[in-house]
Amino acid sequence: MSLLQIEGLGIDFGGLRAVHDVSFSLGAGEIVSVIGPNGAGKTTLFNMISGVYRPEHGRVRLAGEDVTGIEPHLLARRGLSRTFQNLQIFQAMTVLENAIAGHHLHEKGPVLADLLSLPSSRRRAAEAEASARMLLDRVGLGRAEAQEAGSLSYGALKRLEIARALALKPRVLLLDEPAAGCNAVETEEIDRLIAEVAAEGVAILLVEHDMKMVMRISNHIVVLDHGEKIAEGAPAKVSRDPRVIEAYLGPQVRETADAHG
């Protein structure tokens, strides 16, 4: 059974049909990419799945349970976690604390214990800290842990968001343009990281403009244009779909594709 099921999801902003009747599903260990031109509705789709927006139409099911419109923090408890296209970092905290903050559900406890700094509170925090250090190492930010997060480069912040999202030990992970603004080396690292996480059984939904990366790591691709799903399938199939080439890659690329075809 698929872990995440999207059924006829839709939302309008004023007169604009930002997303309309989109359906697909995602299984454990799978990497599904959502692609489409700017403004196609990819981020809006993510916002609906992660509970930031309440969808106007359709259903979201997580492991069979209907979670449509449930608040993000409750979805986090059910194992859904995400990163943001426009970075949402806790700027005033250190890199390490950002990663620890991702462990909120593991480290939270009674406020009174925290106020009094009881051993139980310190133990929870210490466990979260140890795990945060491992995650930072994993995304290559181990050396930067003491820095204020606001001082990191864009690419480093993208990786910090991934570390923070992984801290939840999610079953489903939504990544909105994780490689945007990263150089080739960083992109490759993120690429490898995503594949590794998927290999551990996490279902990954990816939005990414770097087509080489998408084609390389996706099991399945969903193509959006003007809020609607215009195609889906295996990378090889989608990349040859004329509607996709038309809508997403533009007429020029179509010509080159024809030339190569």
Partner 1 sequence: MRLSSKTTTLLALAALIALAPLFFPSSYYFRVGSLIFVNGLAVTGLVVLTGYAGQISLGHAGFVGIGAYACALAPVHLGLNPIAAAVVGAALSGGIAWLVGRPILRLKGYYLAVASLGFGALVSMVLANEAQVTGGPDGMTVPDPGLRALLKSAGLDLSNSAFWYAFSGIVLVIGAWLALNLYHSPTGRALRALHGSEVAARTVGVDVAGFKLRAFVISAFYASLSGSLLALQNKFITPDVAGYMHSIELVTMTVLGGAGSVLGAICGAMILTTLPQVLTVFQEYEQVMLGLVMMLVMIFMRDGLLPSLSRKIRGRGK
Ligand X SMILES: Nc1ncnc2c1ncn2[C@@H]1O[C@H](COP(=O)(O)OP(=O)(O)OP(=O)(O)O)[C@@H](O)[C@H]1O
13 is a site residue for ligand X (CB under 6 A): yes
167 is a site residue for ligand X (CB under 6 A): no
Q: Which is nearer to partner 1, 100 or 238 (CB)?
A: 100
Selected from 25, 85, 147, 219, the binder of ligand X by CB under 6 A is 85
Considering only CA atoms, which of 132, 134, 107 is closest in space to residue 122? 107
Q: Which is nearer to ligand X, 17 or 138 (CB)?
A: 17
Q: How many residues belong to the site for ligand X (CB under 6 A)?
A: 12
43 is a site residue for Mg ion (CB under 5 A): yes
178 is a site residue for ligand X (CB under 6 A): no
Considering only CA atoms, which of 207, 224, 208 is closest in space to residue 41? 224
18 is a site residue for ligand X (CB under 6 A): yes
Nearest 10 degrees: Cα torsion 37, 43, 48, 54? -100
Cβ atoms of 7 and 32 within 8 Å: the answer is no
Q: Which is nearer to partner 1, 91 or 183 (CB)?
A: 91
Q: What is the CA radius of gyration of the chain?
A: 19
152 is a site residue for ligand X (CB under 6 A): no
> Shortest gap between Cβ of 197 and partner 1 (angstroms)?
17
36 is a site residue for ligand X (CB under 6 A): yes
141 binds, among partner 1, ligand X, Mg ion, none (CB under 5 to 8 A by kind): none
Q: Which is nearer to ligand X, 13 or 154 (CB)?
A: 13
38 binds, among Mg ion, partner 1, ligand X, none (CB under 5 to 8 A by kind): ligand X
44 is a site residue for Mg ion (CB under 5 A): no
List interacting residues with ligand X (CB under 6 A): 13, 16, 18, 36, 38-44, 85
